Structure 1
Amino acid sequence: MKIGRTALLAAVSGLLALTACTPGSLGDSDGDGTALSYLVDNEPSTVKTAEALAKAFNAKYPELSIKVETRPQGGEGDNIVKTRLSTGDMTDIFAYNSGSLFQALKPEQNLAAVDDQAFVSTLDPAFKTTVTANGKVYGAPTGGTVGGGMLYNRAVYSRLGLQVPKTWADFMANNAKIKAAGVAPVIQTYQTTWTSQVIFLADYHNVASVNPTFADQYTANKVKVASTPAALRGFQRLQEVHDAGYQNSDFASAQLENGLKMIADGTGAHYPILTFAVATIAANSPDKVKDVGFFALPGDDAAKNGLTVWEPGGIYIPKTTSGAKLDAAKKFLGFVASPEGCDVQSKTVAPSGPYVVKGCTLPADVPQAIKDLQPYFDARATTPALEFLSPVKGPALEQICVEVGSGIRKAADGAELYDRDVQKQAQQLGLPGW
């Protein structure tokens, strides 16, 4: 299972009432203007943002309008998108994943390239790779990024005189001092099993800094996790935290909400998690959210310190959109990927991380942990998570990480088991070389 933005929001927020636009709602054609249809998934915050963008776009360009349509999430929604593209029945524009799932849409065959649009030059290079096929760019970003790494309690750090670590050795040294002070150094919440993957997945920037071509080689079955030292380190880090006794005592039974409360209260000092979770801390512990900061998962070389990023999804134009509608669709993508479009999104849904458009800034009132992401982007020290660069991800990863992080299985054994899990998944996907 991929850690997808929508799935994560659902994990925190629970199932909310779904909304959809009905015929005759926002975006119907008015007079001789051009009306575009826009397909998004039915996650409530996604719909809310799409409607806000459509309204703002129509206000700026009264002759153009957007009608928002919705589809289910998950596999059913994926099938709808692929079917509508293959039958030529897709809406004028649509929102979908970036990265490997975008590649599965066969963009050269089904989508209109947007390289000729000015907004493309303003996109963060790391994001741009996730909507690019054979050198052509096909999408504009919607929403902000999500960082993978460590939430940390700033009050604990201040009290103990600790500095944010840039190497794993410094991180473990901090943990020793934190444990001596009677605070749980590293919160783990294995009852919410997907959270067990974060250390392994957030370590990908460190893998790519040593093996820049790892994603391509991995997809082609030319490298394995178990036999690639930099990739194996993710499992080793899990084992090292457990073997040092740095986890909370209830790590096996604790759930996500327990972990978020611990990091907010300072009964735990570090929580490996994705920054989407900061919104829940702000909602549940508003008086404590200022005490929560964030840093990227440290690697073994301070000079290569950087952030693994879960990139935003994209907005795309199918090749069936043509003429005046194509021109209007490109204008809409340019509006979304602009400071004006980012402001609309920020006012509608709290950002989970920096935007990937030059000139877009985070609101001044975002929590400190979200602000802490920005320096990594300013330094261009970011790498998309592996799932945005390769379709290869075994479904048993979270169970394997639980075993390694619980001391049930050694890191090397976990890596070998995961390589076997990945092989079965790659063969099911029909990837060449497997």
Structure 2
Amino acid sequence: MTKRHLMGAAAALLATATVLTACAPGGSSSSSSSAKSPSGVSTDVAGDDVTLKVLDFWQNEEGKWMDAVVAGFEKQHPNIKIERTTQDWGQVMNTLNLRLADPNGPDIALVNNGWQSMGTLAKGGRILNLDAYASAYGWKDEIPSTILRQEQFTSDGKQMGSGSVYAVPAARSSLIGLYYNKAALDKLGIAVPKTLADLEKACAAVKAAGQIPIAYGSQDKGSSTAILFGLQDLYSSAKDIGDFVYSSGSVPITSTGITQAATALKKWSDAGWLTPNHQGIPFADSMNNFLAGKGVFQFNYTGSLGFSAAQKQTYGYVQLPQANGDQVVGTGSTVGNLAISAKSKHPDAAAAFLDYMASKATAQASVDHGYLPLLHNDVKQSAPDPELATEIAAQQKLTDSNGFVPYFDWSTPTMLDTLGGQVQLLLAGKSTPDQLAAAGQKDYDAFQAQRAKG
């Protein structure tokens, strides 16, 4: 499971422990405790030397990508120096509130989506309302609304997915979709699926040939949901899924495609299309099995599978259209949301860095380092990587349809655990699709009641 998905799941852990001229701030009104959107912002950051302190969790290979992004920004803005502090995800999240309260803390930090991180930080005035910068840099015009919605909260921290902009997405993404082993498909004379019906026909043929259609491991609750969420996107609209996750209106869980997804998953299990004895297989082992040829398909998060150079020539990725039509809806988000500390002495310079993090240059750096870009699909691959090319093409379909939906487990701090447990019960024959949906609705209703109490 990718770190990006852990950003969604981490909310549960925390709960339990194009430049335009600058203009006045917009968006929703701020509460007395909230950091207001700065007026009189400027996109002209040339002049005095400035050092910006950035707190992030990108290390190792990801760290090389971030180093390249920083170098590009500093070349464009020679008077601004970026000073990174890098720690693992848990350290960053567990100390973020205190660090942002420190006048000597970071100017810029990665924040988590969701109620317990971005919402709490917005309500507590720890991070800046970025509406003025969003207007100055044109972010609301350049960023797809289904992605920008992931960066929005009302200033009282009570409503996710609307209100003011509190963070900016990095131009790198993570999606949930279908991976396939093209070499295995070619050997069996099966075409790469283009629809759900194609996939089911292919799975039946793979099974008939004595092979495993879908590599899977359900021992881990959280990871076991990848296939459920991937299927869910084929049965509901981006609006209904988004409105449920963001608690907008009164969309019931039965309108989010979850029941149909669970029904399909149970049918696949009964047909023997999943790895035998998957109940005892950790999801990490299922990924290794898939890469070893033990399974022709796998629903997974982009960036999770460590393809070798040779495997990049023979594996691919597809974002299937919806079951009843050609609309493409898929779970997808940035790998990181960057916010500006309310205590930063250099908010204009910090906003320039956020704008660069969402730029085509950063997307190009993503591709150059073998990662899936976001916001800019017209980047060029400098080296042959057919597998990454299929991911970019699939994401383009999502962008064209504005079909990005948030991770479904963002809906409550405990939804990932609830649905993960229900998937395990469903596949063991101890629950039904309707019961799975009912458990999710119960979890959701309990959280909404808790929110209402304040």
Scaled by the length of structure 1, what TM-score is found?
0.79
Mapping of 1:279-318 within 5 angstroms? 280-282=306-308, 286-297=309-320, 299-318=322-341
Which residue of 148, 158, 167 corresponds with 1:128?
148
Name the counterpart of 1:238: 265
Please point out which of 360, 373, 379 is paired with 1:354: 373
How has the CA–CA distance of structure 1 residues 7 and 132 changed in structure 2, closer, same or farther, with 3 Å as cutoff?
Answer: closer
Change (3 A) 1:310 1:407: farther
| 1:262-300 alpha-carbon deviations (Å, 9 max, x no partner) | 43344312111112223x132xxx433322111225542
1:68-79 correspondence runs (5 A): 68-74=84-90, 77-79=92-94
Matched-pair contact (CA < 8 Å) for 2:222–2:420: yes
Structure 1 equivalent of residue 172 of structure 2: 144
Asked whether the equivalents of residues 155 and 266 of structure 1 are also in contact (C-alpha less than 8 Å), the reply is no
Q: What's the offset of the Cα at 1:206?
A: 3.2
Q: 1:256 to 1:216 in 2, by over 3 A?
A: closer
Equivalent residues in 2 for 1:25-424 (5 A)?
Answer: 33-41=49-57, 43-45=59-61, 47-74=63-90, 77-86=92-101, 90-98=105-113, 101-106=117-122, 109=125, 110-113=127-130, 114-118=133-137, 120=139, 121-133=141-153, 134-209=162-237, 212-217=239-244, 219=247, 222-225=250-253, 227-228=254-255, 230-278=257-305, 280-282=306-308, 286-297=309-320, 299-322=322-345, 325-347=346-368, 349-351=369-371, 353-357=372-376, 359-361=378-380, 363-368=382-387, 369-380=390-401, 382-387=403-408, 390-391=411-412, 393-394=414-415, 395-424=417-446
Q: Conserved in 1, the CA contact under 8 Å of 2:317 and 2:391?
A: yes
Q: Secondary structure at the match of 1:248?
A: coil
* Paired amino acid for 1:379: D
- C-alpha distance in 1 between matches for 2:170 and 2:94: 21
Structure 2: distance between partners of 1:269 and 1:358: 27
CA distance in 2, matches of 1:367, 1:378: 20
Question: What amino acid does structure 2 have at the position aligned with 1:83?
Answer: L
Q: State how far apart, in whole Å, the 2-side matches of 1:138 and 1:422 are.
A: 24
Deviations 1:10-49 (CA, angstroms, capped at 9, x unpaired): xxxxxxxxxxxxxxxxxxxxx9611111122365455544
Contact 2:73 2:356 in 1 (8 A): yes
Quote the residue 1:16 is aligned against: none
CA distance in 1, matches of 2:410, 2:440: 18
**Corresponding residue for residue 12 of structure 1:** none
* SS of structure 1 residue aligned to 2:54: strand
Q: Counterparts of 1:149 and 1:228 in 2: how far apart (Å)?
A: 21
1:242 deviation in Å?
0.8
Separation in 2 of the partners of 1:221 and 1:61?
Answer: 44
Deviation, structure 1 residue 332: 1.5
User: Structure 2 CA distance, aligned partners of 1:89 and 1:268?
Assistant: 51
| Cα distance in 2 between the residues matched to 1:378 and 1:422 | 29
TM-align CA RMSD: 3.4
1:67 partner amino acid: E
Partners of 1:141 and 1:313 within 8 A in 2: yes
Deviation digits for residues 299-330 of structure 1 (CA, Å, limit 9, x no counterpart): 421322333214332212223334xx222112
* Count of aligned pairs: 398
What is the DSSP-based 3-state SS (H/G/I as helix, E as strand, rest coil) of the residue aligned with 2:310?
A: coil
State how far apart, in whole Å, the 2-side matches of 1:216 and 1:4 are. Answer: 24
Q: Does the residue aligned with 2:172 lie in a helix, a strand or coil? A: coil
Residues in 2 aligned to 1:96 and 1:366: alpha-carbon distance in whole angstroms = 31
Residue identity opposite 1:149 in structure 2: G
Match of 2:434, as an amino acid? A
Counterparts of 2:333 and 2:358 in 1: how far apart (Å)? 18
CA distance in 2, matches of 1:375, 1:33: 39
